[in-house]
Amino acid sequence: MIDVKQAAQSATVFFNELYRDQIATNVLLEEVELIEDGKFWLITLSFELPPTLALATFPIRAKRQYKTFKVDTQTGQVVSMKIRELEYGVS
């Protein structure tokens, strides 16, 4: 069984291969979770992509994006990648 560090590394390598042609910056490990009776790790990474060109003359800050990767605990293979939407609580 792979540990959480190996799962995070597998997710990061997978991410970097998929986004090789794009400039993803500030990649961070955000969440880890062992699920389905220990069969998979859920690894959430966040990152920034450069903003698209706009007509504005002021700097535009890149929006942080999140992806969750499902990693097999036996093989370390990434079996899925999904967009992770954040839930904001109302106080």
**Domain ranges within the chain, ordered by starting residue:** 4-50+61-83
Q: Is the pLDDT of residue 34 over 90?
A: yes
d(CA 81, CA 91): 31
- pLDDT value at position 53? 56
Specify the CATH architecture of the domain 4-50+61-83. Answer: Roll (3.10)
d(CA 18, CA 7): 17
Q: Is the pLDDT of residue 33 over 70?
A: yes
- Sheet with 40-48: list strands edge to edge: 25-35, 40-48, 64-72, 78-83
Under DSSP, the state recorded for 52 is P
Q: Is 19 left (phi over 0), alpha (psi -120 to 50) or beta?
A: alpha
Q: How do residues 9-26 score in pLDDT, each as one tens digit?
A: 999 999 999 988 888 899
